[in-house]
Amino acid sequence: MNNDHRISPTRTMVTLGLLLSITSSPPLLADDVQIYITPPPNPVPPNVLFVLDESGSMNGTPRTQLITAMQNIINDATMANVNAALLGYTTFSWGGAPRLTAHSGNFMMIGANQATFLTQINNLQALSGTPPVRDLESAVNWFDPNPTFNFTDSTNTTMATPITGAPVNNWCKPNHIVLLSDGSPNSNALPPSANNGINTFRGAACTADALSFNQGGNCAREIAAWALATDLQPGNSWTGTQNITTHTIGFNTNAQTQAFLTSISNAGGGNFYPAANSTQITAAFQAILTTAQQSIPYAYTAPVIPFNQSNAAVSGNRIYVPMFVPTGTSAWGGNLKSYTITTDPITSKIILRDANNNPIIDSNYAFISSQDHWSSTLDGGDPLANGAAAQMGASNVSRKLYTNLNNTLPLSNAANLVKTTNITNADMGVAANATRIDLINWITWNWTAPTPAVGQTAAPSHEGTMGAPIHTHPSVVDYNGNKVIYLPTSEGVLEAIDATTGKELWAFMPKDLLPNILALKTNASATVPGYGLDGPLTIYKIGPTNNPKTMAIVGMRRGGKSYYLLDITDRLNPKFITQITDPAPSTAGDSFDGLGQTWSKAIHSRIFIGNAVKDVLVFGGGYDTDQDNATTRVNDNEGNAIFIVDAANGSLLLKLSNSTTGISGMNNAIPANVIPFDMNRNGVVDRIYAADVGGRIIRIDVPESTSGTLTGGVIADINAAPASAFRRFFNTPEIGYYNRNGVQYLAIMIGTGNQPTPLDTSVKDRFYMIKDPNVWTPPSSYVVVKENSLYDTSANLIQDGNNTQQTAASNSLAAANGWYLDFGSSEKSYSEAVLYNYAVLFTTYSATINNNQSVCQTQGATGVSRFYAVNMTNGAAIFPKLGGNDTLLDINDRSMVLSMNGIPPASNLVFPEGDNGMLGTKVKAMVGLEEVQEWPNQLIPIWWEESINN
């Protein structure tokens, strides 16, 4: 064995036309969406008016349950930033005039006025009739800043509108009415027209029908619709709308009343919630208020997202580049474009060119106007223009969108098509047939936008749009010359795109994601996107070499807790194999118990298991969202395992965890890719390494025959006492081999960074090299390396110190179990390291946000992208040119600032071909397309993955 090389998992090796070596998996990015879209430090509080039923039927238990629910909301700390008011409604007598009571007085912040709210909640009454129509009218008048419509309650107190100040400063503040009723409407006394006796609202006639209880509920829908469509505070210096969204809650109501309340919420742009007790009322209030706080229509300018080679797919001389554009709404748009990879014959620099042979990126590695191979015009630098997105629906042919309805039939069978005759209301999570039909037609490109009202724009079609591949990347499969690109997107589909034309051949949307279509079409304002299938994709082959099957497995990341396994051997007729998920999350010990959000890529490997060597998939247990808000290390109940499944059918073969295999210390989630590798190179995996968000490195030793025993445990814990801070691993460790002067060890190299909070500066993150001395055989016991046994190489004394300091540093390094290197403030490691010839290459990003933006302005972060190259053995600088001085090697040569904007991808090793088409004489280290280092070519094993050839 060569005594200096990178140890890699089993990977398919394919010769590329340009020998562009993608040596590492795409960086596993967590909630880096904060980098793209961050709301102001002081979020805008929504205005929410609770309109509460005080009719006689609320007496006794119903009143008590409503009071309990309201108390729960007022005491909920997450609701503190809501500007609210309480309006009770009933009548003075049965059939009499409405009695409207502003219990809380004017709008006020919940968090600052908890005591007042709690006192006033106890004043809720149970008196006479149920006049929700008059109450809705009064609620709208309360919001309206026009003095003509000022609202005065039944005590003759005039209420102040919450819509105040200059529109340019508060236009983004959302307004919501929450109407709760426990019975059918009555006591409606809106003024009739002088000519025909028809009820009117603000001069417009209302439609009386069975759905509105005829006169009893007449005009309720029209009021809600008017409030949604009307700008209550127009201004010339902004383009927003101060309108009102109306939600309804039916408290122990019958079907007819539920239909009435649903019609109001539909007209008012909100949601209807049935409730039978205080718990369900609380849940409804929480859902409405959470949405109100998240769906703020901030002004937003999308940041420039640089080219990321780690997210692209290469096949031959073509590169397929996924793109997306962050927006201030929940449905982010994406695209996929096809370009050519070339090398400059003089400089050997890699250049991406378009169909006109022009470069596609500028000196800052941002995209410029170009024409991809699937288009006939320039895109003007717009990521969403042209490309595969422009092909979607353009042929006026119904989309072949499949879902897993009948697993005994291929997905391409008519029984598995997403169409109105196959999908039920329950499948879609909607109540009305009309809604289901509208959504299915929209998602399958058969939808025609209704004619807009005067002054309004037409609703957008779904044709020509594609979901965002935020954290996903494409893979290419060659079907005897007919190449297909597979790409998961935040739309919740796995795309199958013809590599020649860019047209969608088919798409797969899991059945359990069908309810997301409503949110996709609504595309409400939001500061986080919908995620859908935003997880890793693995494509692999199993079976005999002369007739193998091609399989695909895709995860969800923030989109959910499942993997979906498909047989894609036939490029036009895919088959659904299984859904890997925890079938009963609340039940311990069942299949896939504790599977978290599926962030970890399923790695295809061969492992001796069940008395035979089998094709398997190995993946980490995923992410536990409890970690989002954790500030100290606590155990997770999701994701703290490693799963091994049958690569043919997805059935569970082995779960490695504290509870199932007795491997102690597996206490935290494992969202990153694990590393199964074959140490003795006999074609069978004999070891697995993994890193968890608790700061542990886990080693599993896998037997290769029945004579061996599976063992494992934690071999490093950077957060064990006396650790100085809570640091977390979200990356896959890199493993290297050292063997000199009788000393040998495996070097485990990994950086830290709490990726769900990229703007956090409370923890100084680090890069670690940890020694595993048990190179060839399992250890007799799994000894835990702690941070205090590592050498702090941050000051670079091994290189920059005086003679005494250098000697002491060398002695400390020799005795230590590895070393660590401090990052700067807010600097985090977002991608795995790459090792070449003892040089450890990795990237970091330091994000900052401007805290002085307008209260209605959200923005992307700015920051510094940095490339590091340090010596594996001691963390010292290894390339003098990084610091700008070609002769002096010091601490400044450890890293360099990159030209690109945004989070940098992992480092990449490239072997450009020479003039004769053979390997050149140089090896280049690149980040994206930015060259950062160069070596003479050496015969050191490098592994890469490009595409699977069928």
pLDDT of 197: 53
Q: Cα(484)–Cα(947) distance, rounded to whole angstroms?
A: 10
| Conformational region of residue 681, where left means phi above 0, alpha means psi within -120 to 50, and beta covers everything else | left
Q: Residue 707 gets which letter from DSSP?
A: T
Q: Cα(417)–Cα(444) distance, rounded to whole angstroms?
A: 10
pLDDT of 167: 73
Q: Cα(528)–Cα(467) distance, rounded to whole angstroms?
A: 14
Host H or E run for residue 714? strand 711-717
Q: Cα(476)–Cα(478) distance, rounded to whole angstroms?
A: 7
35 neighbors 758 (Cβ within 8 angstroms)? yes
HSE of 650 in the Cβ direction (CA atoms, 13 Å)?
A: 21
911 neighbors 939 (Cβ within 8 angstroms)? no
Non-local CB neighbours of 498 within 8 Å, separated by 6+ positions: 482, 483, 484, 485, 504, 505
Q: Residue 345 gets which letter from DSSP?
A: T
25 neighbors 831 (Cβ within 8 angstroms)? no
Phi and psi, residue 589, nearest 5°: 85, 0
Q: Cα(901)–Cα(712) distance, rounded to whole angstroms?
A: 41
Q: How many CB atoms lie within 10 A of CB 717?
A: 21
Q: Spell out where 882-936 has E strands.
A: 895-897, 907-910, 922-927, 930-936
Of 234, 243, 230, nearest to 167 by C-alpha is 234
Of 665, 667, 685, 663, nearest to 676 by C-alpha is 685
pLDDT of 353: 95
Q: How big is the CA angle at 411 (ends 407 and 413), to the nearest 5 degrees?
A: 100
Helix (H/G/I), strand (E/B), else coil: 391: helix
Mean pLDDT by 10 residues, the chain (950 residues): 33 26 31 80 89 93 95 93 94 83 93 95 91 91 88 89 80 92 78 55 82 82 92 73 92 92 92 94 93 82 75 91 91 96 81 95 88 97 95 79 96 96 94 91 89 64 92 95 97 98 97 96 87 97 95 97 98 97 78 94 95 96 93 94 97 92 91 93 94 97 90 96 93 93 93 90 95 94 96 96 96 96 92 91 88 76 90 94 80 91 82 49 76 67 36
Q: How many CB atoms lie within 10 A of CB 735?
A: 22
508 neighbors 565 (Cβ within 8 angstroms)? no
Q: Cα(603)–Cα(688) distance, rounded to whole angstroms?
A: 11
Cα 620 vs. chain centroid, distance in angstroms?
Answer: 18
Host H or E run for residue 402? strand 401-402
480 neighbors 950 (Cβ within 8 angstroms)? yes
Residue whose entry in the numeric block shows the structure tokens 């790409």: 487
Phi and psi, residue 143, nearest 5°: -70, -35
Q: Which amino acid is at 179?
A: L
Of 29, 168, 38, nearest to 527 by C-alpha is 38
Q: Which two tokens stand for residue 19?
A: 């020998």
Q: Is 511 exposed, middle or buried (0-12, 13-18, 19+ CB in 10 A)?
A: middle
Per DSSP bridges, beta strands 47-53 and 175-181 are: parallel
pLDDT of 293: 86
Q: Is 109 exposed, middle or buried (0-12, 13-18, 19+ CB in 10 A)?
A: middle
Q: Spell out where 657-805 has E strands.
A: 675-677, 687-691, 696-701, 711-717, 734-740, 743-751, 766-772, 785-786, 791-792
Of 584, 593, 683, 717, nearest to 643 by C-alpha is 593
Of 583, 584, 566, nearest to 575 by C-alpha is 566
Q: Residue 257 gets which letter from DSSP?
A: H
Q: Cα(126)–Cα(59) distance, rounded to whole angstroms?
A: 5
Per DSSP bridges, beta strands 504-508 and 401-402 are: parallel
pLDDT of 853: 67
Host H or E run for residue 739? strand 734-740
Q: Please list, residue by residue across 255-282, b when 16 or more beta carbons sit within 10 angstroms of its beta carbon and e when fewer do.
A: eebebbbbbbbbbbbbbbbebeebebbb
Of 922, 873, 688, nearest to 3 by C-alpha is 873
Q: Cα(775)–Cα(702) distance, rounded to whole angstroms?
A: 14
Start-to-end Cα distance in the chain? 32
Phi and psi, residue 513, nearest 5°: -100, -5
642 neighbors 620 (Cβ within 8 angstroms)? yes
Q: Residue 859 gets which letter from DSSP?
A: B
Q: What is the reported pTM?
A: 0.84
Q: Residue 152 gets which letter from DSSP?
A: B
For residue 822, what are the β-bridge partners? Answer: 766
Host H or E run for residue 289? helix 278-294
Q: Which two tokens stand for residue 481?
A: 């010359």
Helix (H/G/I), strand (E/B), else coil: 519: helix
Cis peptide before 722 (omega within 30 of 0): yes
Cα 555 vs. chain centroid, distance in angstroms?
Answer: 12
Q: Which two tokens stand for residue 342?
A: 């070339």
DSSP count for the chain of H helices, then E strands? 14, 48
Q: Which two tokens stand for residue 661?
A: 């295999």
Q: Residue 45 gets which letter from DSSP?
A: P
Per DSSP bridges, beta strands 766-772 and 818-822 are: antiparallel
